[in-house]
Amino acid sequence: MIEAHGLHKRFGAVTALAGVDFRAQDGRITGLLGPNGAGKSTTLRILYATLAADAGEARVDGEVVSADNTAARARIGVLPHNAGLYPSLSARENVEYFGRLAGLTRIAARARADELIEMLDMQDIATRRAKGFSQGQKIRTALARALVHAPRNLILDEPTNGLDVPAVRKLRSLLVKLRDAGHCILFSSHVMQEVALLCDEAVVITAGRVVATGTPEALRERAGSASFEDAFVALTGEGGI
- Which residues form the interface with other proteins (CB under 8 A)? 45, 48-52, 67-68, 70-71, 73-74, 76, 78-89, 97-98, 100-103, 142, 145-146, 149
**What's the rounded Cα separation, in Å, for the pair 125 and 188?**
26
**What's the rounded Cα separation, in Å, for the pair 91 and 80?**
16
Element (DSSP H or E) covering residue 31: strand 29-33
In angstroms, what is the minimal distance from the CB of 234 to other proteins? 33
In angstroms, what is the minimal distance from the CB of 204 to other proteins? 25
In angstroms, what is the minimal distance from the CB of 98 to other proteins? 6
**CB closer to other proteins, 68 vs 180:** 68
In angstroms, what is the minimal distance from the CB of 67 to other proteins? 5
**CB closer to other proteins, 48 vs 187:** 48
**CB closer to other proteins, 54 vs 238:** 54
**What's the rounded Cα separation, in Å, for the pair 86 and 72?**
24
In angstroms, what is the minimal distance from the CB of 192 to other proteins? 26
Beta bridge partners of 8: 18, 55
Query: For residue 176, which amino acid is it?
Result: V
Residue 144 near residue 78 (C-beta atoms within 8 A) = no
**CB closer to other proteins, 101 vs 227:** 101
**CB closer to other proteins, 184 vs 204:** 184
Cβ neighbors of 8 (< 8 A, separation 6 or more) are 15, 17, 18, 19, 53, 54, 55, 56
**What's the rounded Cα separation, in Å, for the pair 78 and 157?**
8
In angstroms, what is the minimal distance from the CB of 142 to other proteins? 7
**CB closer to other proteins, 38 vs 109:** 109
Residue 226 near residue 219 (C-beta atoms within 8 A) = no
